[in-house]
Amino acid sequence: MNNIISGLRARLAPVADRVGTALEPVGRVLGMKSVKYPLRTVGVLLIYALPILHLPLINTENSDFSGVLFTVGTYVLVALGLNIVIGYAGLLDLGYVGFYAVGAYTVGVVTSEHGQWPFFLALPLALVVTMASGVLLGAPTLRVRGDYLAIVTMGFGEIIRIVARNTDWLGGAGGINSIPSPPDIGPEEGLFQIPHLSWQYGYPTIDDRVTKVLHFGVLDATPYFWMILTTIILVICADMLIKNSRVGRAWEATREDEDVAELMGVPTFKFKLLAFAMGACIGGLAGAMYATRVGFINPPSFPLMLSLLFVAAVVIGGAGNRWGAILGAVIVAYLPERFREFADWRLLVFGIALIVIVSFRTQGLFPGRQKKRVAQAEKEVQKLEEGAEIV
């Protein structure tokens, strides 16, 4: 597997270079030094256009494609948050669905159950509440040993679900109904309308379906997808800034060796708590968006299995590398929707995939650069030690 991926990378890199070189004159004409950024912009625009293009092979025939894309988006958002906790700070959180639920319930409570707040006002509140719940859970539990943390967080996820089920104020077992969509921006028919493509005849034709821009209806999930995609891009930017800051380095040091980090003057507990709170916050964000999209939440929407799927997404992709985590989330969320006929086998296949991937590629499919460096250093140290033994 190692060889396949590195081989693939070696083969793809020159292609990308060549494309870059070929486009360079174009860039020069336009007065740009590098075509990297325009290329990225095109890529992002393509992702934005996905729900409209309905590309064959990628499109899901049996379920609404933009709905599927939205689900993938929530998983990606969650994976980005969980990647901070697991990948950067090295804390195994098996109860992440708890934060997701807290975010969703906060929105549900203030917009429908006990208030009429508009969504964009409820969203910041959801962030604050989930962050607070992250700190509340983290403050006592982050002091316990790492492997206990997994079980304690798993317990937290279950407690949140059971409390929601047993508390009438939170809607009890029936959950919360009629959570409103985000308010429309602009006129009733949307700022402007974009038609969808149809590939019915093998070539693209203009369909009679249209998406109203910034009009959040029940039927069309495309505006929600755009909303979550925008959020994801913002979160990725924030993630990049944090990862390359002192905070990111402190997380890395804590993950690799807590005692050494502490000796070097890193207040490890504080940084672990920060990672926990930030991860919780992003999980809550995803939960809030989920709530406003589906309009109805109840305790069984947040089963423990979801936590394990989230962890699986991060670990399969490669904990510590945001692109790996995103890829993992896309795999975990998209493949079962695309291949609906095998949906029953999903968990079985995941289980096997988890065992195989961690056995043969301990770092996940795309490990982070630092993790690879650490693994390399460890290997060298081991080699030296073994050599000394022989002498």
Partner 1 sequence: MEFLIGNFAELTITGLVLGSVYALVALGYTLVYGVLQLINFAHSEVFMWGTYAVVWVLTLLGASGTSSLAGAAGYLAIALVAAVLMSGGVALIVERFAYRRLVRQNAPKYIILISAIGASFVLSEIMGLRDKIAGFLGLQGVLGDYVNNPRNTSTLPVEIKPEPVLQIGNYMVRDTELLIIISALIMMFVLDQFIRRTSFGRQIRAVAQDPEAASLMGANSTNVVRLTFLIGGVMAGVAATLYMIKVGATGFNVGFVLGVKAFTAAVLGGIGNLRGALLGGLILGIAENYASGILGSEWRDVTAFVLLVLVLLVRPSGLLGESLGRARA
Binding site for partner 1 (CB under 8 A): 86, 90, 92, 140-141, 144-148, 150-152, 154-156, 158-159, 162-163, 165-166, 304, 308, 311-312, 315, 344-345, 347-348, 350-355, 358-359, 362
Check residue 184 and report its DSSP letter: P
* Cα 91–Cα 96–Cα 99 angle in degrees, nearest 5: 120
| Pick from 365, 84, 366, 372: nearest CA to 239 | 84
Contact call for residues 65 and 207 (beta carbons, < 8 A) = no
Rank residues 190 and 367 by Cβ distance to partner 1 and give the closer one: 367
Smallest separation (angstroms) from partner 1 to the CB of 92 = 5
Rank residues 196 and 255 by Cβ distance to partner 1 and give the closer one: 255
Sign of CA dihedral 63, 67, 73, 76: negative
Smallest separation (angstroms) from partner 1 to the CB of 158 = 6
Smallest separation (angstroms) from partner 1 to the CB of 284 = 21
| Torsion angle, alpha carbons of 180, 186, 190, 192, to 10 | -150
Rank residues 43 and 351 by Cβ distance to partner 1 and give the closer one: 351
Pull the structure tokens for residue 372. 């690879």
Smallest separation (angstroms) from partner 1 to the CB of 238 = 25
Smallest separation (angstroms) from partner 1 to the CB of 381 = 12
Smallest separation (angstroms) from partner 1 to the CB of 364 = 9
Rank residues 24 and 158 by Cβ distance to partner 1 and give the closer one: 158
Residue partners of 111: CB distance under 8 A and separation at least 6 = 117, 118, 119, 122, 179, 180, 292
Rank residues 121 and 144 by Cβ distance to partner 1 and give the closer one: 144
Rank residues 32 and 163 by Cβ distance to partner 1 and give the closer one: 163
